[in-house]
A = this chain, B = another copy of it.
Amino acid sequence: MRKFSARLADVAHSAGVSLSTASRAMAEPGLVRNDTREKVEKAAARLGYMPHGAARALASRRSRTIGAVLPTVDNPIFASATQAIARELGASGYTLLLAAYDYVSDTEVTVTRALLERGVDGLVLVGADHPPALFQVVEQAGIPCEFTWTIDSSGYRHCVGFSNRLAAARATQHLLELGHRTFAVLSGHTASNDRARERLAGVREALAARGLLADGRILETTFSLGHGRAAMRALLDRPAGRDFTALVCGNDLLALGALLECQARGIRVPEELSITGFDDIELAAELPPGLTTLHVPSAEIGRRAAVRLLERLAGREVAREEQLPVELIVRGTTGPPP
């Protein structure tokens, strides 16, 4: 079933040169005479030669492969970052190996280990907070690693992202400036997600600075439209009812879910309730009245992570921390309190 596949030795033979010359002709075209390079290229094309990645990796001790470990692939924000990484890597002959762990810590360690066994030359991780076992295997592998979507407070790790805390505080500040004084929060699960945790902390800090808090009106749930809507339902069905005029959400999916629940109940947004999101996914702009949210440069995060990794693999230094701008996009879901 498996067909015969030409090896480099076959190409060399067919081109009438030695194995090493053929190897050089493909890897370092500058080191061989023009006509020999052409001979080799012709022979390769004739035989339909395809390099054997494993053999190459074994001999050269690098796989030209980068691994990315994502919480989930089912979030547009990660999708665009992934695409950007792959594009950037591809331009340099690198391939992206993707793994997702569905927000399960154990799985994260398992899949990361799998990538490491596959011999990835570098790693892109999301967030700075990971199980000790994860750091351990990455450390031991001794390959460069970029932490994304966050700024590492310790300043020790290489990361490209932004301060989730300050960004969330900015959204909260926007609501405070509009005059809101009673807040509710729909957060992602903070236990296993440092971005969610930082965002929630940012909201709390901004409120605390005004002597406010949202205690009893903070719900944690899974980042999805359906869960956002369900959480909003739970919030509104409390005995206290809608005892808040502003809702800060951990991401756009939660915010849009909440918005849909409001529309279903006839709660007017923003007249009766203001809502903010986080991420600025495409739907945020499309769904009336337009979600006020924080624009996160997801593609740029992916691109920069890839570039930084390539730089480091080439032996060049990069700044430990690269901060990207997050912009508040004011749309239709925020306004003065009733």
**Contact, CB under 8 Å: B282 / A225:** yes
Most interface-central of A53, A72, A82, A117 (chain B CB within 10 A) = A53
Q: How far is the CA of A288 from the CA of B282 in the complex (A)?
A: 18
**Nearest chain B residue, comparing its CB with the CB of A260:** B286
Residues in B with CB closer than 8 Å to A111 are 90
**Nearest chain B residue, comparing its CB with the CB of A114:** B95
**Contact, CB under 8 Å: A50 / B116:** yes
In this assembly, does A142 line the interface, its C-beta being within 8 Å of a C-beta of chain B? yes
A113 to chain B minimum Cβ distance, whole angstroms, is 7
Copies of this chain, whole number: 2
Q: How far is the CA of A52 from the CA of B61 in the complex (A)?
A: 10
A100's partner among B86, B97, B118, B137 (CB-CB below 8 A) is B86
In this assembly, does A257 line the interface, its C-beta being within 8 Å of a C-beta of chain B? yes
Q: Given known contacts A118-B53, A225-B283, is B100 in contact with A83 (CB within 8 Å)?
A: yes
A55 to chain B minimum Cβ distance, whole angstroms, is 5
**Nearest chain B residue, comparing its CB with the CB of A116:** B50
**Contact, CB under 8 Å: A82 / B90:** no
A95's partner among B79, B118, B142, B229 (CB-CB below 8 A) is B118
Residues of A within 8 A of B (CB): 1-3, 5, 48, 50-55, 57-58, 61, 63, 65, 72-76, 79-80, 82-83, 86, 90, 95-100, 102, 110-111, 113-119, 137, 140-143, 224-226, 229, 257, 260, 263-264, 282-283, 286-288
